[in-house]
Amino acid sequence: MSAQSSSPEITFQAPHAGNTKRIWRTFWVLSILTIIELAIGLLLYNMHKGEAPNATLVLAFKGMVCILTLAKAYYIVSVFMHLGDEIRNMIMTIVVPLMLFIWFIAAFLWDGNSWKNLRNRYNGKPQEIEKVTPAAKEKGAKD
Amino acid sequence: MDTAAVQQGTKWWSGGRSPFNASYGKVMMWYFLMSDAFTFGAFLISYGTIRFSVNDWADPNKVFNSFPLAGHANLPLAFVSLMTFILIASSVTMVLAVHEGHHMNRKGVEKYMLWTIIGGAAFLSCQAWEWTHLLTGEHIALLDNGTLSVLPTTVKSNPWGTEVHHEALLTALQNTPRIQLLEIAGTLHETGANHNVAALSDAELIRTIEAAGIHANNPGPIAFGGYFFGITGFHGFHVFSGVVINVVMYIKTKLGHFDQRGHYEMIEKAGLYWHFVDLVWVFVFLCFYLI
C-alpha cells in the first residue's frame, strides 16, 4: 500500500498497484501493435512498387492500421493515463463527448470525397455544360 | 423529511465533496485535454478532407524515406519508427515516475522524470532534423511552364505529385533555361562533375543530367506542406511545452516540494499532459506516415 495522503478532496483512495507489471505489459502491447502497424506499412509500400495494387485490399490494410491505432489509444488512455481507474461517471464525461468524432470523421471525409468526384466530373469541361441549355432552347423555338 | 441525515452523508454536488472523487486540478486537466483533442481532431479531419478531395496526394514512403547520416539510402518508415519508439519509451518512464510518486519515493520520481525529459528532448531533436531535411531538401519537379526546376518541401511548394513520364521529362529538359539546369546538375550526387558544371555548355549540361537518370514529379497539392508542418508543428509545440512542464516538475521534486505537500499529484497531472502528447502522436503517425 502507498504511504500517500492525497489532497483533502479525495475521500477514498483506490489502492495503488504495488509493482510495475501492468505498466511494462502495456509497454509491450504498445510496442507490438506499433511493429504490426509498421509491418503493414511496409507491406503497403511493397504493394505500390509494381503495377497499381488492388484498391480494396489497400483500403482493408489501411483500415486495419486505423483499428490498431485505436487499440493503442485505448491502452494509453486507460492504463498510462489511469482513466480506467477513475469513477465511471468521470470516464463518461470524457468519452461521451469524444463520440462526436464518429460523425465528424464520417461527414467531413464524405464531403472531401464528394469534392473530388465533382471536380473530376466537371473540371476542364465547362463549355460542354453551357452548350446543353441553348441547344434545348433552339429546339423548343423551332417547335 | 430527514434532510439533516441526507446532508451529512450524501450531499454530493453542493460542496465539501468531489463528485468524481478526484481533485479539481486533475478533473480540469482531463477537460483541458479533451478540448485539446478536439483541436487536434479538427486539424486532422481538415487534413483528411482535403486529402480525400484530390486525386493524388504525396506518398509518405517517398517523402519520409531518409535517416540521419544514412546519405541517400531509401529507408521508408525508419526514422518515424524511431521517433514513435522514443515517445512510447518516454511515456513509460513518465508512468513509472507517477508510480514512484504514489509510493512517495523521491529518488525514483527524479530518476524517471529525468529519463522522460531526455526522451522529450530526443523527440524534438528528431523533429528538428526532419523539418530541416524537408525544408532544405531539393527535388526535381516539372513546373507549370513546362520547365524543370528544383523545389524544397515547404508550405508553398510540394514536389511530390505524380511522376513525370520519361519522354515528357526529356522534352521539358530541352525547354529548361540554363540557370535551372545548373540547379538540377547541382543536385546530382552520382556524378563527380559538381565542381565544373558551370563550365559546361547547355547541351552538355542536358546530356549530363540525362545520363544521371533523373526522376521528376509534377508539383503535388500545395496543401501538403501546410498540413504537415502545421500539425506536426502544433504537436511539436505540445512536446516542447510538455518538456518545460516536466523540467519544472523535476526541479520541484528535487527541492522536495511534493514531500512537504504530502503527495505527488502534480507529477500525475504533468503525466496526463505528457501521455496526451504521446496519444496525439499515435494519430499523427497514422495520418501522415502510415496511410
Contacts of A63 in chain B (CB under 8 A): none
Identify the band that residue A11 occupies on the pLDDT scale cut at 50, 70 and 90.
low
How far is Cα B93 from Cα B118, in angstroms, rounded to an integer?
10
Question: Residue A2 pLDDT > 50, yes or no?
Answer: no
B276 CB near a chain A CB, below 8 Å? yes
How far is Cα A128 from Cα A134, in angstroms, rounded to an integer?
11
How high does pLDDT run on average in chain B?
A: 88
Nearest to B55 among A37, A83, A116 (CB): A116
Least Cα separation, residue A126 to chain B (angstroms):
19
Contacts (Cβ under 8 Å, ≥6 apart) of A105: B45, B48
Nearest to A10 among B22, B88, B271 (CB): B22
Q: How many CB pairs under 8 A join A and B?
A: 163
Give the CA radius of gyration of chain A: 27
The residue-averaged pLDDT of B162-186 equals: 86
Residues 64-83 in B contacting A (C-alpha not used; CB under 8 Å): 76-77, 81
How far is Cα B220 from Cα B59, in angstroms, rounded to an integer?
10
Which grid coordinates are listed for B138? Answer: 531539393
Instruction: Give the residue on B whose Cα is nearest the Cα of A111.
Output: B49
B288 CB near a chain A CB, below 8 Å? no
Angle formed at CA A128 by CA A122 and CA A130, multiple of 5 degrees: 100
Encoded amino acid at B28, one letter: M
Fold of the domain spanning B21-56+76-136+224-290? Four Helix Bundle (Hemerythrin (Met), subunit A) (1.20.120)
Q: Where are the domains of chain A?
A: 21-142
The predicted-structure confidence for B182-222, as pLDDT tens digits, reads as follows 888 888 765 555 567 777 788 888 888 888 878 889 999 99
> So what's the pLDDT on residue B11?
52
Nearest to A30 among B18, B77, B88 (CB): B88
Which has the closest alpha carbon to A12: B10, B264, B18? B18
Most confident of A63-77, B5-19, B71-85, B138-152: A63-77
The predicted-structure confidence for A12-51, as pLDDT tens digits, reads as follows 666 677 678 899 999 999 999 999 999 999 999 988 887 7
How far is Cα A78 from Cα A85, in angstroms, rounded to an integer?
8
The predicted-structure confidence for B227-251, as pLDDT tens digits, reads as follows 999 999 999 999 999 999 999 999 9
Q: Where are the domains of chain B?
A: 21-56+76-136+224-290, 140-211
Q: Are B282 and A77 an interchain contact pair (Cβ–Cβ within 8 Å)?
A: no
Which has the closest alpha carbon to B232: B284, B268, B279, B183? B284
B283 CB near a chain A CB, below 8 Å? yes
Q: Are A87 and B289 an interchain contact pair (Cβ–Cβ within 8 Å)?
A: no
Q: Are B272 and A81 an interchain contact pair (Cβ–Cβ within 8 Å)?
A: yes
Residue A62, Cβ neighbours under 10 Å: how many? 15
How far is Cα B98 from Cα B104, in angstroms, rounded to an integer?
10
Question: What is the end-to-end Cα distance of chain B in Å, rounded?
Answer: 63
B162 CB near a chain A CB, below 8 Å? no
> So what's the pLDDT on residue A20?
85
Specify which residues B149 forms β-bridges with. Answer: B141
Q: What percent of chain A has pLDDT over 90?
A: 52
Instruction: Give the residue on B whose Cα is nearest the Cα of A81.
Output: B272
Contacts 24+ apart (CB under 8 A), A6-13: A6/B23, A6/B262, A6/B263, A6/B265, A7/B23, A7/B263, A7/B265, A9/B17, A9/B18, A9/B22, A9/B23, A9/B24, A10/B18, A10/B21, A10/B22, A10/B23, A11/B17, A11/B18, A11/B21, A12/B21
Q: Are B50 and A108 an interchain contact pair (Cβ–Cβ within 8 Å)?
A: no
Contacts (Cβ under 8 Å, ≥6 apart) of A91: A83, A84
B8, B21, B90, best to mutate vs chain A, most A CBs in 10 Å: B21
Q: Using CB atoms within 10 Å of the CB of residue B276, give its burial: 0 to 12 exposed, 13 to 18 middle, 19+ buried.
A: buried
Contacts of A37 in chain B (CB under 8 A): 286, 290
Please say whether the beta carbons of B288 and B232 come within 8 A: yes
A106 against B3, higher pLDDT? A106
Give the CA radius of gyration of chain B: 27
Residue A95, Cβ neighbours under 10 Å: how many? 12
The residue-averaged pLDDT of B27-48 equals: 95
